[in-house]
Amino acid sequence: MSAITPNPEYWTRVEARAKALGSDGCTAVSDRWNLQCCLLHDIMLKTHADMDGNAVTRQEADWLFWECNRQRAFLRLSWLDPRSWVRYVGVRIGAWW
């Protein structure tokens, strides 16, 4: 599993690839918070790979989605950020549909 990088060029690539794949952004929730995390998650789900071409399972994609959101959390103890966990639980539940 690859790490999420803060490199601006990386996120430009994510946005371009997501657009090419027809990503809808953050499905069923607001795109106003961490849209790039949603785009990256959509890419991994549609291609079964990360941006470097490494194979990614659904569970790994969901965990990287949590990690992306956690890195952008407002709380100093970002691993406790409730929004990151709520979104993670949402994508895990979504895996059953």
- Count of structural domains, the chain: 1
DSSP assignment letter at 31: T
Is 3 part of a structural domain of the chain?
A: no
Q: How would residue 79 be classed by pLDDT, with cut points 50, 70 and 90?
A: low
Is 76 part of a structural domain of the chain?
A: yes
Q: Report d(CA 9, CA 36) in Å as an integer.
A: 12
Is 78 part of a structural domain of the chain?
A: yes
Is 12 part of a structural domain of the chain?
A: yes
Residue with tokens 């997501």: 18
Can you give the residue range of the structural domain that contains 48?
8-94
| Number of residues that this document lists for the chain | 97
pLDDT tens track for 4-49: 667 889 999 999 999 999 998 877 666 567 889 889 999 999 999 9
For the whole model, what pTM was predicted? 0.79
Is 43 part of a structural domain of the chain?
A: yes
Q: Can you give the pLDDT at residue 19?
A: 95
Is 2 part of a structural domain of the chain?
A: no
Q: Is 80 exposed, middle or buried (0-12, 13-18, 19+ CB in 10 A)?
A: exposed
The sign of the CA dihedral 5, 10, 13, 15 is: positive
Q: Determine the residue type at 45.
A: L
